[in-house]
Amino acid sequence: MTDLNSRLANAPVVPLVQADDPKIAVATTRALAAGGLTVIEVVLRTPSSMDCLSAICDLDDDIIVGAGTVLSAEQASTVLDQGAKFIVSPGLDESIVQIAQENNIPVFPGINTPSEIMKARNLGLNMLKFFPATIAGGIPALKAFGSVFGDVKFMPTGGVSAGNLADFLALENIVACGGSWLTPAAAIAAGNYDAISRLAEEAVSIASSVAK
């Protein structure tokens, strides 16, 4: 957890990697790392997503790889077997949290209501995914949460972009922002990995400009 926290402190952006081909997943991840983003979330949204996760976890590169869109305890156990170092879920499921805690692995369950935050907090969690961020209230909602849950940090995902990244990161209760804008499908389909590296570099630059 300490290494993950230090990485996010330096570059508080977590790109989502979605692929159905391990070679493409690896190339995308390396392009992101070349741009300065070394905490990667591989989302389980394709038939070969587990193979993609495994391939990225097998890299010798200095990358922290997590699994996202984890929907069940069974999936949570499987992604840990593949080498995932953290788990991200779109919602709050106690069985997923339990698997992560039993294995001493960070877990970011998705929340968007005060009741969910309270439940997660009482499960011993103080870093949560805020999803879908812009639809669920965006920055005003996060400010309101901060006034009540002062010991909880959030990773907003869903609607975050280069255009609003600085505004999200400027909030005191944000640990990082997640998003798929860094891995556009068109660039990946065209094999334009330089474009992905440039997007990563832009995100790192934006994050560096935000002083808390």
Query: Using CA atoms, how far apart are residues 141 and 185, in angstroms rounded to an integer?
Result: 30
Q: In a 3-state reduction of DSSP, which class is residue 162?
A: coil
Task: Please report the pLDDT score of residue 1 as a whole number.
Answer: 65
Closest C-alpha among 51, 61, 60, 58 to residue 24: 51
Task: Please report the pLDDT score of residue 61 as a whole number.
Answer: 86
What does pLDDT average to over the chain? 97
Q: In a 3-state reduction of DSSP, which class is residue 2?
A: helix
- pLDDT tens-digit series, residues 129-160: 999 999 999 999 999 999 999 999 999 999 99
What residues are paired with 156 via a beta bridge? 130
Query: Using CA atoms, how far apart are residues 164 and 153, in angstroms rounded to an integer?
Result: 18
Strands (E), the chain: 13-17, 39-43, 64-68, 87-89, 107-111, 127-130, 153-156, 177-179
| CATH number for the segment(s) 2-107+165-205 | 3.20.20.70
Q: Specify the pTM.
A: 0.96
What are the backbone dihedrals phi and psi of residue 126, each rounded to the nearest 5 degrees, phi first? -130, 10
Number of H helices, E strands in the chain: 10, 8
CA angle 202/45/109 to nearest 5° reads: 75
Asked whether residue 182 carries a pLDDT value surpassing 90, the answer given is: yes
Task: Please report the pLDDT score of residue 161 as a whole number.
Answer: 98
- pLDDT tens-digit series, residues 71-92: 999 999 999 999 999 999 999 9
CA angle 33/38/40 to nearest 5° reads: 105
Tokens of 21: 């081909």
DSSP states along 90-149: SS--HHHHHHHHHTT--EEEEE-SHHHHHHHHHTT--EEEETTTTTTTHHHHHHHHHHH-
Residues annotated as catalytic are 41, 129
Closest C-alpha among 197, 194, 192, 199 to residue 34: 197
Query: Using CA atoms, how far apart are residues 165 and 124, in angstroms rounded to an integer?
Result: 28
- pLDDT tens-digit series, residues 19-61: 999 999 999 999 999 999 999 999 999 999 999 999 999 998 8
Mean pLDDT of 4-26: 97
